[in-house]
Structures are given as C-alpha cells and as structure tokens.
Amino acid sequence: MDKAYPDICLTSLKATILELFGLEKSADDDNANPEIIKLGKGNTIERAVIYNPDAVAFWLYEKYNKKFIPAEKSSDISMPLRSVMPSVTPVCFASMYTGVLPEKHGITKYMKPVLSCETLFDRMLAAGKKCAIVSTAGDSISKIFLERDMDYYIYPTEWQVNRKALKLIKENKYHLIVIYNGNFDATMHHHGPEAKKSLKVLDKNIKVYSKIVARIRECYKKYNVFYGFCPDHGCHEIDGKAGSHGLDCYEDMAIIHFYGIKEAFHER
C-alpha cells in the first residue's frame, strides 16, 4: 500500500511567517501552519532565518533518524510536509515563497524565470522589513526571486554561502534571511540518495543548520526569532544507482521540515 502524503503543504510557509510577524496573508495564499502558529504562543517575531537544503526527503529522516538528531535538538518541532507537482526545485521553491500552487504562480516545469506574482519577500518589503537571499549562483533561489528591493548574496560554492549567512546573522541587519544549499541534491543525482558521498553531504547540511541556530541564539538574544530547515522536495533512486525526483510519489513528495522559535531574552 502506498503511504499517504502529509496533510500540510510547503505552500503554508509564506502565511506562517507573515502571521508570526503580525502581517496579513494575501487572499490566495495557503493557510499558515497551525502547529507553528501554536508554537509561537501569540508572540510577534522580529527575525526569521530559513535554511533551504535541497532534496531532503522524509523517507531519509525515517530511515536515517540518528543523522537528524542534531537538527532535532536545534529545533522545537519536526514534521513531514507535502511538496508540489512537478516536484522539481524551481516549482517547489516558487510555491514555498509565493504561498500558492504552481498553476497560480506560473512556474509549472523546470524553468527559472523571475516571478512576477507576489512573494513572501514582497509582503515583507511592503511592511518595511529588510530581506536577504544567500545562494549559490545559477540555482533557482538565486534567480526566480530577483528584481526586488532586497539584497542578494550569490556565491560559487556552498561554504561561501554559509560563511556569509553566519556573518549576516551576526551583523543583524535583516528581518528575513533565506539561505540555500544545493549540494545534497547535486551529489545524490550523481551517486544516489543513499551513497556514502550523499549521506556525508546530508550530514554537512544538518551541521550547517545547527551552526545557524547556534548563531541565532548568540546574536539575536533580544529578539523573537523563527527559524527552519526547509527542503523543497524529496528524492528516489533510479537505474544505475543515480538519484532523481519530479514524480508524484511518496519519496519525492514527502519532505522533512524542522522549525524553532527562539524567544527574546530580556535582561532585568
């Protein structure tokens, strides 16, 4: 029997972040994730940092749960989410940050046009919030959200992206920082999701997330902060022990997300 897909879709992230900031979602947006809103205890957040590793499937979390323990310890909640079809990177991240399905935002296949519809970044900017994207060059997140009045830090490698992201958190200039790492996706395409090389890269992604959370706790002490480990789609093995995604199947559609809310520390 095929496993059922998770009930909550990744399109919920836009409305979730807006509601946590005390901002209204648009009429067409998916609803906020009720579990995360409950986690916020009614407090308004002042910072958000989202780490987007590519292609981390829920079945990997189920099978290699011990690898994810550092991510669990750094978060308040872990939960499976449902991706969108076709389950390819630009379609999924467009859906995540517009809050609507592909037929609404217009990216319905593997293509990377600049989105003309409203995104989370547009809503935040309209409310006077400063936003930044930190990504590797040529990848979906570095392209489809361009042409906004925000800052883009685009680098050739993941380690440069992650170094800059940690620096930006320390500088404390932004209300929203989105960070993209595509190294697990790239590695699993060549070697398969469960190859030693791929699982080592997955370990790196989890370690990076833990470093990001540690930096948030160090540098955002006086702020309520929402943060997350938020992949776009899953993956599966194909002939030749390579990896792929894009199908309407549990392996590609069920993803694992981790979320946390750090409450402000006020000195007495």
* 4 part of a folded domain: no
Q: How confident is the model at residue 268 (pLDDT cuts 50, 70, 90)?
A: very low
Domain CATH number, residue 134: 3.40.720.10
Strand, coil or helix: 215: helix
Domain assignment present for 256 = yes
How do residues 72-131 score in pLDDT, each as one tens digit?
999 999 999 999 999 999 999 999 999 999 999 999 999 999 999 999 999 999 999 999
Both tokens of residue 129? 């919030």
- Whether the pTM exceeds 0.95: the reply is yes
pLDDT tier at 241 (50, 70, 90 boundaries)? Answer: confident
pLDDT at 265 (0 to 100): 67
Instruction: Provide mean pLDDT across the span 160-189.
Output: 98
**Percent of the chain at pLDDT above 90?**
96
Confidence of residue 1 (pLDDT cuts 50, 70, 90): very low
Between 48-52, 83-87, 236-240, 259-263, the lowest mean confidence (pLDDT) is in 236-240
Residue 101 within any structural domain of the chain:
yes
With a pLDDT cut of 70, the percent of the chain lying above it is 98
| Residue 3 belongs to a domain | no
Q: pLDDT, tens digit, for every residue of 250-261?
A: 999 999 999 999
Q: Is the pLDDT of residue 266 over 60?
A: no
Whether residue 208 has pLDDT greater than 50: yes
154: CB partners within 8 A, 6+ apart: 135, 136, 137, 142
Residue 33 lies inside a defined structural domain of this protein: yes
For 204-232, give one letter per residue: b (16+ CB within 10 A) or e.
bbbebbbbbbebbeebbeebbbbbbbbbb
CA gap 141, 53 in Å, rounded? 11
Mean pLDDT of 209-219: 98
pLDDT at 62 over 80: yes
Q: What is the pLDDT of residue 85?
A: 98
Q: How confident is the model at residue 236 (pLDDT cuts 50, 70, 90)?
A: very high
- Structural domain including 51 reads 12-262
In a domain, 115, yes or no: yes
pLDDT confidence tier of residue 229, bands split at 50, 70 and 90: very high
For residue 268, being part of any structural domain is answered with no
Residues 242 and 191 sit within 8 Å (Cβ to Cβ): yes
Mean pLDDT, to the nearest integer, of 53-68?
A: 98
**Mean pLDDT taken over the chain:** 96
Count of domains in the chain?
1
| Residue with the two structure tokens 């399905």 | 101
Asked whether residue 233 is domain-assigned, the answer is yes
